[in-house]
Structure 1
Amino acid sequence: MNKISNKVIILIVMVFLVASVSFIGAAGMLLSSDMKVIVGNSMSPTINQGDIVIIEENPDSIEQDDIIIYDATWYPHPVIARVVSIKNDSNGNPLYEMKGDNNPDPYPGWVPLKEISKVVYVYPEIGHINLMIRGL
C-alpha cells in the first residue's frame, strides 16, 4: 500500500508542476510579455531567487517605485531593480536611477526608457526547478 501512495503523490506533484508551467506560459502569452527566472537576492524580500517574473518589454512609461529589468553595462546579466529616481536628459527624455531593495545604494548610471522592461507580475518560487537544472 505504501508503494501505491508514493506513486500517487509523485503523480499529483507532476500534474501540479505541468499545470503550473502551463499556467505561467499562458499568462505570459496573454500579456504579450517575457518571463525571467530571478537569480540573486538584490530585490529581496520583495522578489527572491527562484521567483519567476513576467515582464512587459518596451513599456510606454515607468514611474518611481516600479520594478524593472535592464541590461546594465556594469553587470554581465540582466539586472532587476526598483526605480528610485527620475530625471530628464537635455532633450527632455526620461532617465531612471535604479536600486535593489536589498542594496544600500543606487546602481551606477541613469538608464533611458528604451532599455527597460517593466515587471508586471511575480510567480513566487516556481523558478527553482529551472535554477536546479542550470546548476545555480
Structure 2
Amino acid sequence: MNYKIKKFSELTTKELYEILKVRVEVFVVEQNCIYQDLDSKDEVSFHVFLEDNSEIIAYLRVLPKGISYPETSIGRVLTKNPYRKKGLSKEIVQKAIDFIIDTLEEKEIKISAQAYLQKFYESFGFKSTSDIYLEDGIEHIEMLYQK
C-alpha cells in the first residue's frame, strides 16, 4: 500500500477516475445523498490517497486557505467499505494534518465534519466551532484545529 499526495495537475487520468468513482460510491450511493460532488475545488486542492493494487481505498482532499474557509481545510474524507475498522481513516487524516503543518506551513485547519464523527476529529485536536447543522440532509458540525 502506498500513500500519495498530488496536486490536481499531477493526477493521472486513471487516478482521477478512481478518486471520483470512490467518492460517488461512498458519498452518493452508500450514504444515499444526492449532491454535486464536482464543485470546482478539486482543481486547486491536494489529493491524498492510499492505493492497494492500484485501487484507491482511502482518500481526502486538502483545500488551500481561502477556498472553502479562510483557513486551510480537509474534505471528502473516506475509506472504502471493505477497508474500514483498520485504522486507515486515522492514518490518512494524520497524513493530511502533517502535510498541512509541515509542507504548507499552515497552523489552522477548518473542517465541516459529519456530526457522528465529532469525537474522531476531536482525537486529533479539532474543536467544535458551531452547532450541528444540516448539509445535504446530513448533520454536520464545523471544527477547527490549531497548532
| Same fold (TM > 0.5) | no
Normalised by the length of structure 1, the TM-score is: 0.27
| TM-score, L = length of structure 2 | 0.26
RCO comparison, higher one (Cα < 8 Å, 6+) = 1
Mark the structure with the bigger radius of gyration: 1
Tell me which protein shows more helix as a share of its residues.
Answer: 2
